[in-house]
Structure 1
Amino acid sequence: MAEQLRWVLIIISVIVIGGLLIHGLWSVRKKDRPEVSDNERVEPLQESTPAPSKSFRTEAEPKEATLNERDEPQFGELDFNENEPQIDTSVPETPIEDDLKVVDDLDVKEQSDEESSTQVSDFVIVHIQMPEGLNMQGSKLLPAVNTLGFKYSEEGFFNRHLDPAGQGPVLFRLVNMYNPGTFDIDNMEQFSTAGVSLFMTLPCDGDGLAAFNMLHSAAKKLAVEFGAQILDAEREEMTVERIRQYVEQVRSFSA
């Protein structure tokens, strides 16, 4: 009997000790956890992890759209229609703005760098201008210039040489008064122009006054042939006084 009572006390002691141990562990863990209410648990979550709101996106999107509309064109607005009339980009026939441009280009080809740096040159320019709305037809212009002794050059101009056969130095030239200033000898039948220009470089080879007389005579014959008007270098009507100025200009380089 005493033996049985001893085993019962041992078992009870073990159970009590085990219960005390479990209770102690539970108490320790409970002390480590802060006691928070349900309301306190929800509020920190809302403050620390705010979900992206719909209003935030709507504020950013309009700003981006405003920048795009101001700084960059929207490609959707560029509507090209093949049937719409297009701007004519072809270059109309316009007079050569600087009459000396063609002259200078030719002068550079004929003179060496040494000659151009030491020799002062000048030009006599005479225009033959058609009345407004009328043109010189190439089919009629070509035989006219050939009759006057002009010879076509590789540069696209008609040259009047000292020798009517086309030999010797060039006395003066005939160019197209309108851009590009040249003639297409192979398509003269389709060619037309509202005017041509005659010019000579001073000093010239041979007798300068004789060369100018030939130039002026050729200008008058072309003007009569096409019903055109003779103009000076400033494209003003040629007068007797202006011709005298040209003569004095030629003489100053012949002395």
Structure 2
Amino acid sequence: MMQELRLVLIILGAVAIAALLLHGLWTSRKEKPAKFGEKPIGKLREKDETGFDQDGIGSVRVIKAGSNEKPKTERKEPGLNFGEKPDVDPLFAGQTEEMPAKEKEDDLPLPVFSAADSEEADKVVDSPVQSIQTPEEESAFSETIAEPVIAQSEAIAPLAEEKEATDTVSEEAVEVEEEAPKEPEQQVLIMNVQAANNSEFDGEELINCLEQHGMIFGEMEIFHRHADLAGTGKVLFSAANMFNPGSFPLATIHQFTTPGITLFMTLPCYGEAEQNFKLMLQTAQQVADQLGGLVTDDNRNMMTPQRLDGYRDKIKQFHAHA
């Protein structure tokens, strides 16, 4: 009993498996579009009145070599491959004959790709994709960007003004520092040696006296006292003719006479100004004593101790402002 039941179950299982397999094959075959190869051969050979068969394929035409007509490109007749999709000529894909929907889908022309098309496709793939924005999106995006930019500009503006003010103050400070070391204006200390009783000094005697006290004839045709007696050092003070043009004509000095000479020094000067002034005053007194003259100030008034103090104060003030 058990063996019979087992045999029945085995047979039922085999039948069920076979039924499932048959049902699957039938379903897949039903869903698969009708193939060109499944059509009856008789239908494939039928031709319509225009000379084309049901799929729009005509017979092969043979063109003579000597014909003047323009040769037409021969088409290759499609082979009959059962179970596979046949090649369809795109020239006849637009036939208006009514065909089943599945057959028309099978007869659609396949696209033909060339090397040039592949290159163009590669270029299109490589090119960056640009997004298309509507005017509303662009305006919204612009407003979104503009708001932080304006806020940032407003935040930067005070900083820029503060930096500009700081730079202006720095420039003014630099200008003040540059103007600070400005040297004081040059000043000249003058005294005269005049002949007494409205007389005049003899030219030769005057020159000899000046040379005896370290004065050397030189630039501008006047006498100079240098830092060294050789006459190669800096000029400490000078002696000129009291009247214009102020020079001494050595070529005609034996005929030259003058009512007096002017000794002068400039501030600032080489060395110590007080020592140079003391040496100039001493030279003036020696010349006046030797020639019988008088020492006078810059206004040609008699030199007094008070006037000498005025010269010394002038030197001190100059150094105080230097």
Q: TM-score, normalised by structure 1?
A: 0.52
**In the TM superposition, what whole-angstrom CA distance separates every residue of 1:172-231 from its partner, at most 9, and x where no partner exists?**
010000121110122221111010010000111101111001000001001111111111
1:154 & 1:147 partners in 2: Cα distance?
19
Alignment of 1:13-52 (within 5 A): none
Query: For residue 192 of structure 2, what is the amino acid of its counterpart?
Result: H
2:216 corresponds in structure 1 to 151
2:262 corresponds in structure 1 to 197
Query: For residue 231 of structure 1, what is the amino acid of its counterpart?
Result: T
Change (3 A) 1:254 1:185: farther
2:282 corresponds in structure 1 to 217
**In the TM superposition, what whole-angstrom CA distance separates every residue of 1:77-135 from its partner, at most 9, and x where no partner exists?**
xxxxxxxxxxxxxxxxxxxxxxxxxxxxxxxxxxxxxxxx9541111100111124411
Q: Which has the higher contact order (CA 8 A, sep 6+)?
A: 1
1:141 corresponds in structure 2 to 206
Alignment of 1:52-71 (within 5 A): none
Where 1:188 maps in the other structure, the secondary structure is helix
How much identity, in percent, do the aligned residues show?
33
* 2:188 corresponds to 1:123: yes
Unaligned runs of 5+ in 2: 1-181
1:18 corresponds in structure 2 to none
1:229 corresponds in structure 2 to 294
Query: For residue 225 of structure 1, what is the amino acid of its counterpart?
Result: Q
- The list of structure 1 runs, each at least 4 consecutive aligned residues, that deviate by more than 2 angstroms after superposition, is 251-255
Where 1:244 maps in the other structure, the secondary structure is helix
2:233 corresponds in structure 1 to 168
Is the 8 Å Cα contact of residues 175 and 181 (structure 1) preserved in structure 2? Answer: yes
Pick from 281, 305, 321 the counterpart of residue 240 of structure 1. Answer: 305
1:250 & 1:147 partners in 2: Cα distance?
28
1:188 corresponds in structure 2 to 253
Where 1:183 maps in the other structure, the secondary structure is coil
2:299 & 2:203 partners in 1: Cα distance?
25
2:315 corresponds in structure 1 to 250
Shift in Å, 1:251: 2.4
1:177 corresponds in structure 2 to 242
User: How many aligned residue pairs are there?
Assistant: 139
1:237 & 1:197 partners in 2: Cα distance?
14
Is the 8 Å Cα contact of residues 125 and 232 (structure 1) preserved in structure 2? Answer: yes
RMSD: 1.5
